[in-house]
Structure formats: C-alpha cells, structure tokens
Structure 1
Amino acid sequence: MAFSIIKPGLLDTIQDLGRHGFGNWGVSPGGAMDPYAAQVANLLVGNDKQEAVMEIHFPGPQILFEQNTLIAITGADFSPTINDEAIPRWQPVVVRKNTVLHFPSLIQGGRCYLSVHGGYCLKKWLNSYSTNLKAGNGGWHGLALKKGDELPFNENTIYFAGLLKDESNFETLPWRVNTDKAYQYPHEIGFIPGHEWDLLSAGTRCNFLENNFMIHPSSDRMGYQLKGAPLALERPVELVTSAVSFGTVQLLPNGQLIVLMADHQTTGGYPRIAHVITAHLPKLAQLRPSDTIQFTLMDLEAAEQLLIARQKELHILQRSCLDHLNEMVCE
C-alpha cells in the first residue's frame, strides 16, 4: 500500500517530533515545525502521536492514493481537495483508491501536515523518521519528496472501503478538533527572558516589547530572520558558544534578531535574549514571510501551565479518537 507523488510541492518532507539526544554530535533535533498540528494529524487517524507525517509547504504536491485509506490534514489551509472536491482540515477523511489529493490555493498559514492511518513504512535514523536535509538522512532517503516517489504505509487495520458511499471519492468522519486556543492571537508570541536578557539596555528591552518585527523572506526551517528597529546590548561583551534550542531568539551583530526554528544549529555564540515558550511554537511555525510578530513577556510558571494544558488536551484527544475508531470497527 502506498501513495505516489504526481507533482511535488515547494518542500515536502517526512517529519516526526524530532531527533533528540544527539546534540553533542552536532545533530539538530529537526522534526515538525508545528509539533501540535503534527501530533493532532496522527491522533485523528488513530496513530501514536510520535508517528511520521508529511510536512507540506505551499505550493503543495499532488498525491495519488493507490489504496483506500484514512487520512487527516492539519495546520495551514491550502484548500485541500480530493478529485477537485474540497475536504476539511482537522478532521479524519476516508479517501478512495485512485483519487488525487491537491492543494490549489493558499488561504492562511505556513505549513500543513498529512497523516495516514497506520503511519508511513520507513526506517528510522537515530531514533527518528524526521528528514535531515543537510545530513541526507531520515525520512524518504534523506530527501524532499519528488515526482514519482511512492511512499509505502503500514497495512490498514480497518476495512475503509466499507465506510465509503457508492460513487463517493471520500467520506468525512464525524469528529474534528477545535484549534481556537492553540492558534489564538496568531501574531502574539509569548517568551521568557533568555540568558543574556539583562545585558540589553533598558531602552532596548522596551523596544523589544513594544515594537513589531517582520519575518524576512529569507527565513526557513533553520531560523526566522526578523526585521525591526535595531536593538543593542548595554555594553559589548564576548560570549562563549552555548547551547540553543527551537525558539531561542538571538541578537545579531547588526542589531536584528533571528528566531531559531526546528532545524536550528545545536550551539550559537550570539546573545540569547529570549526563548519562545513551547506552547506558542505552533503559532510561530504558521507565520509566513512578511507576517509580523509581537513578543509578549511571560513568566516561567505561566509558560509551564500552558504547556501542561496542551498536553492534557492531546491526551484527551487521543483517547477520544481511538474510542471513535473502535466504535466504527465494532459497527
């Protein structure tokens, strides 16, 4: 069982929740830019949240399904269609064999995620399915997907053909996810102070909190370059190269900022003035070049509470989706 790429998108790769524990080798964790959307995509189709998904940027690919299967699309809205019929996001959909998934237009967001029931049948590299393009490992042979690639997926445990109505190309299953809280106030990004926050002048700290910053077009999965009023340290300092993470905000020598993203380097020598809170990384990942960011100062306890609430939400969603699928199998 598999699907094939009829036409590749801008950058289609296989990702999971990342390759952790190898930073001492200089290997970035990588993984999905929007880990929330990736996890939800898996849970909707009954997978473990650690399963691999396809991360899709616009313009997206055209995909031919070679078998009846259950899919979910989460994240950005690229107007997904099956044989030119619109299908919903954030909801499981049974698709018929020999139908084509297409993403004809960009409505909002930076990247979406495609999961299939049972997961993709791929080999792990360093305990992860995620594609590391620089190392040429993980995912689908370490590469972005191209025309003619046939991605196998694991055998279905449910007879999906029985859920399809006669002559229908797909069938939407009756449960979906409410994402209002996860992406509420999309341009407001919470942060906690970084190790070098106190090295900023008082005026610079005010500018950081009060001004908007625009995402530069040269931004990518490694980092978002931000354009705004130049910032400065109170006095010049020499820093030892130190560990950085997904969401670290660094101050560059030219006074501009960079927010490190999923494919960030493992260490850096620029001042780490802030860290985007984990619960707001999905919002950050869905912003696009020319979008603006307003940073909001938060304390560690508030950031932790948001993350705990997110994890509880995902746990409830996992149990609920499995119950729904089991009910369908019993029927």
Structure 2
Amino acid sequence: MSLTIIKPGLLDTIQDLGRTGYSRLGINTGGVMDRYAAQVANMLVGNDTLEAVMEIHFPGAQFLFEQNTLISITGADFTAMVNDEPVPLWHPIVVRKNAVLHFPKLQHGSRCYVAVHGGYCVNKWLNSYSTHLKAGAGGFHGRKLEKRDEIPFKESRIYFAGLLKPGKEFEVLKWHVDTGSTYLHPNEIYIIKGNEWDQLTCQSQQDMLEDNFTIHPFSDRMGYQLKGVDLKRNERTELVSSGVSFGTIQLLPNGQLIVLMADHQTTGGYPRIGHVISAHLPKLAQLRPSDCIHFKITDIATAENLLIAQQQELNILQRACLERLNHVVC
C-alpha cells in the first residue's frame, strides 16, 4: 500500500543520508538537509537510519494514507494535522487508513521530515534513495512530489489497527524525543577556520565573528547566501578549485559569504573562510531566509567532542525506540 499526494507542496522530495563516494565523478552527496531530524524520524518508527524519509518545505503537501501505518514527523513545526486535529512532532503516531496529513501553518524551522514504518519503497541510484533533482535520478522518479503521486511503502508485518481506539483517526504513542541540546541557541553557529581564513584582513576576521549575517531569500538546498558587512582579503589572488563540503563557508568576489548546503557542488574556486562544524549543521538547516547567523570560532577537538556526544545520544535513542516499539507491538 502507499500514501497519495492530494495536494503538492513547495518542494517535497524523497531523501536519505546521501550518496557518498562519487565526488570524484562530480556527483555530490546530496541527501537530507537536517541529518539529525531525519535519523530520529526513522528511529521513532523502528526503521534503520539509512531508510528514506520525505523532506518537506513550507507550504507542505497534503497526504492521504492508503493503509494503517506508523509515522513520525520531526524537524520544523508546520502545525502538522491529521484530519484537522493537531499531532505532535518527535512522537511515533499510528494513523488510520484514509486519514489525511497536512501542514496549514508555519511556526518555526525550515524543513520537516515524515518517516513511515518500513520505509518508502523507491529505487536507489548509486546506493542512495536521495532525489538528485539536476540529474533527475533517485527518490521518486528523480523529481519533487506532485499531485496524484502514489508513494508505496515497504512491507510491514505489524498490525497497527490494533493500536487505534474506536472512532480515532490516529493514536500518539507515549514516547518522544527531547531535542533541546541539538537545536539550542539556533542562531549561534560554531565554525572552524578554513584554509583561506588567514587571507582575510584582521578587520574582516573581527567583523565576521562580531557581526550578524542574514540569510538571503535566494538561498536554497545548494547554499545559503548571506548578507552582512563586506569582508576583504589581503591580496586578490586566484585560487585553484578544490574540494568543498556541506558547511563550507566561501567568500564571494563581492565580499559576501555563502554557506554550502546539502546539494553543493563538489569543488569550488572561492576562498574557503571556514567550515560549519558537523554537530551544528542541523541548526543551520532549520534556519530560514531573513534569519540571522552569528559565527563563533572553535577548534577541531571541540567540534569532534560535540559530534561524538550527538552520535552517542542517537545510538541510545535508537535502542530505546526499538525497545518501546517492540513492547507495544508484543
């Protein structure tokens, strides 16, 4: 069975954690923008973290569920509702066949994730379910989701109807995730110095760390263009194109910054001023146009410790979710 798109959203795609190992061929990793929220969405419904999820931007789509199923919604708060009744984020939720999920109002955040138990049954491209829009590959026919699309689910052996009370269109299961530490101080982003940091003038280095930068409306999954004080280099030397990654901060010729996001190119020739630490990429992914960013320099050891702590939290969470789900089903 499946879910059906009855009203398309702005940009809803099937994504996973991305395809690795193909940068040498010019194929970027892609995948979800908020890896933390996507992994938690899968954990809450008992999936492996590598399963595909649906990434939704506001205004989001409306979905009709063609079967009883277990879902979770994580990330941004778009006031998720099932048949006009609000449902909470970061919870597992059993929904009844023919229920409609929709997102009528933006509260905060930039993108949310919907996972279903078992995962979406879509084809892989280069070992990943992620939609590559430019290549027209991966995900659901290599494109964003449109009206009347039917997204099939993988087979489930759990009888979810038994968890629904008579007359109820959904049932929220009793465990949830506390995400306070991951999204704490959302506008404060830690970075480590890039290869060309020292090419900035002393004044520009100071400006970058003391001033706020605003995300430009033209920002997208490829990169966040930032508006702020013009930054200057000591010398205007040409650079050889080199590898870049999710979170690389480049200095454009006009003195403004761009932060590369999930669909970034594989190489770039602009100065790499810094790199957003991996543990703060989820916060960055949930910022919206016109939101402010304040950069803070940290060191590699701190960046590694924060990422390790975040991964340990995810490991504990995954075990706990499986135990709770097994207990409820049994």
TM-score tier by shorter-chain length is: over 0.9
Corresponding residue number in structure 2 for 1:270: 270
Distance (Å, rounded) in 1 between the aligned partners of 2:238 and 2:54? 41
Corresponding residue number in structure 1 for 2:141: 141
Q: How many residue pairs get matched?
A: 330
The question of whether the paired residues in 2 share the 8 Å contact of 1:118 and 1:157 is answered with no
Corresponding residue number in structure 1 for 2:71: 71
Amino acid at match of 1:82: V
What does 1:129-168 correspond to in 2, within 5 Å?
A: 129-168=129-168
Question: 1:248-307 CA deviation, whole Å, 9 max, x = no partner?
Answer: 000000000000000000000000000000000000000000000000111000000000
Distance (Å, rounded) in 1 between the aligned partners of 2:288 and 2:229? 20
Corresponding residue number in structure 1 for 2:255: 255
Distance (Å, rounded) in 1 between the aligned partners of 2:82 and 2:253? 48
Distance (Å, rounded) in 2 between the aligned partners of 1:157 and 1:326? 12
What SS does structure 2 have at the residue aligned with 1:307?
Answer: helix
Say if 2:201 is the partner of 1:218.
Answer: no
Corresponding residue number in structure 2 for 1:47: 47
Runs of 4+ in 1 over 6 A off after TM superposition: none
What SS does structure 2 have at the residue aligned with 1:287?
Answer: coil
Task: Give the CA deviation at 1:76.
Answer: 0.2
Question: 1:303-326 CA deviation, whole Å, 9 max, x = no partner?
Answer: 000000011001001100000111
Corresponding residue number in structure 2 for 1:15: 15
Corresponding residue number in structure 2 for 1:176: 176
Corresponding residue number in structure 1 for 2:120: 120
Corresponding residue number in structure 2 for 1:94: 94
Corresponding residue number in structure 1 for 2:239: 239
Distance (Å, rounded) in 1 between the aligned partners of 2:193 and 2:127? 32
Task: Give the CA deviation at 1:157.
Answer: 2.4
Distance (Å, rounded) in 2 between the aligned partners of 1:95 and 1:222? 34
What SS does structure 2 have at the residue aligned with 1:43?
Answer: helix
The question of whether the paired residues in 2 share the 8 Å contact of 1:118 and 1:154 is answered with yes
Distance (Å, rounded) in 2 between the aligned partners of 1:140 and 1:123? 8
Structure 1 length as normaliser, TM-score?
0.99
Corresponding residue number in structure 1 for 2:27: 27
Task: Give the CA deviation at 1:329.
Answer: 2.0
What SS does structure 2 have at the residue aligned with 1:237?
Answer: coil
The question of whether the paired residues in 2 share the 8 Å contact of 1:192 and 1:298 is answered with yes
Corresponding residue number in structure 1 for 2:201: 201
Distance (Å, rounded) in 1 between the aligned partners of 2:67 and 2:57? 24
Task: Give the CA deviation at 1:245.
Answer: 0.2
Counting aligned pairs with the same residue, the percent is 67
Distance (Å, rounded) in 1 between the aligned partners of 2:269 and 2:232? 15
Question: 1:213-266 CA deviation, whole Å, 9 max, x = no partner?
Answer: 000000000000000000011111111000000000000000000000000000
Distance (Å, rounded) in 1 between the aligned partners of 2:310 and 2:50? 16
Unaligned runs of 5+ in 2: none
Corresponding residue number in structure 2 for 1:327: 327
Unaligned runs of 5+ in 1: none
The question of whether the paired residues in 2 share the 8 Å contact of 1:16 and 1:53 is answered with yes
Say if 2:267 is the partner of 1:297.
Answer: no
Distance (Å, rounded) in 1 between the aligned partners of 2:58 and 2:122? 24
Distance (Å, rounded) in 1 between the aligned partners of 2:299 and 2:157? 45
Task: Give the CA deviation at 1:172.
Answer: 0.3
Distance (Å, rounded) in 1 between the aligned partners of 2:106 and 2:328? 33
C-alpha RMSD of the superposition: 0.5
Structure 2 length as normaliser, TM-score?
1.00
What SS does structure 1 have at the residue aligned with 2:306?
Answer: helix
What SS does structure 2 have at the residue aligned with 1:326?
Answer: helix
Corresponding residue number in structure 1 for 2:311: 311
Distance (Å, rounded) in 1 between the aligned partners of 2:8 and 2:291? 26
Distance (Å, rounded) in 1 between the aligned partners of 2:141 and 2:232? 43
What SS does structure 2 have at the residue aligned with 1:229?
Answer: coil
Corresponding residue number in structure 2 for 1:107: 107
The question of whether the paired residues in 2 share the 8 Å contact of 1:63 and 1:102 is answered with yes
The question of whether the paired residues in 2 share the 8 Å contact of 1:193 and 1:273 is answered with yes
Corresponding residue number in structure 1 for 2:185: 185
